[in-house]
Amino acid sequence: MLSSQEVLHQLLAELDMSVKSFADSIGYSSAKIHDLKRGKTRRFSDDLIAHIVATYPVISRIWLMTGEGNMYGKPSTDINQQSSTGNQQHQNMLPLIPIDAVAGYNGIDSMGVLIEDCTFYSVPEFIAAKAEYMIRVSGSSMYPKYSSGDILACRRVPEITFFQWGKVYVIDSNQGAMVKRLFEVKEDPTVVLCKSDNNNYPPFVLPKKEIRSLSIVVGVIRLE
């Protein structure tokens, strides 16, 4: 997996452009791209990715976001607008998507996920649990329940009106995408309490109105 700085370096080399010429070509701030190149900014922002793929639609969004896969992806519709051919090809298979793309997968943001950029896997147990997609855990906040690198099977919650308190959810909010256990706050029904299984990460409250999409975790694959 490439770092964001390595992704940018490869992209500039492939396009044979300087930071300034690249910034001019996509109509973006060269100073912000310089910050990314120097490591002051750790990842491509959604806004920068949107500018890049609008100008160079063959560049893979997933590659820009994660540094995984191929630089080039095929222009396509959002993953929620799959063609019937794609549905047949990936029947009984689940896409593995970056956690940062959860919002796009759930149809909340315009970023979306390109179906051609996703790797699909057949996991009968996940299908039986009615999972809709998978993500890879990053970080140790949910250890020992989940370790970094674990694959989680997720099922979308279409309406954020009912919570199974104590269950693990993938939450996309104004604070970003995260995996947490959710608990009721009886004193304030407008918020939920987000807890990590790792005690080194303190719990915090999250206003329900800031939750943009929600999925419940229904399974896990762990590699030793």
User: Is the CB of residue 60 less than 8 Å from the CB of residue 117?
Assistant: yes
Alpha helices (H) along the chain: 4-15, 19-26, 30-37, 46-55, 61-66, 84-89, 102-105, 124-128
- Please name the amino acid found at residue 13: A
Measured at the CA of 102, the angle between CA 2 and CA 180, to 5 degrees, comes to 100
The pLDDT, as a whole number, for residue 81 is: 42
DSSP 223: -
Nearest to 118 by CA among 97, 136, 134, 133: 97
- Please name the amino acid found at residue 90: H
The pLDDT, as a whole number, for residue 43 is: 86
Q: How confident is the model at residue 8 (pLDDT cuts 50, 70, 90)?
A: very high
pTM over 0.75: no
pLDDT by residue (tens digit) across 164-215?
Answer: 999 999 998 877 789 999 999 999 999 999 999 999 999 999 999 998 889 9
Residue with tokens 């300034």: 20
In the chain the domains, ranked by start, together with CATH numbers, are: 4-66 (1.10.260.40), 81-221 (2.10.109.10)
d(C-alpha 36, C-alpha 150), whole Å: 28
Question: Which residues, 6+ apart, have CB-to-CB distance to 54 below 8 Å?
Answer: 26
Which two tokens mark 125?
A: 């147990």
d(C-alpha 49, C-alpha 86), whole Å: 25
d(C-alpha 159, C-alpha 150), whole Å: 27
Quick one: what percent of the chain has pLDDT higher than 90?
A: 37
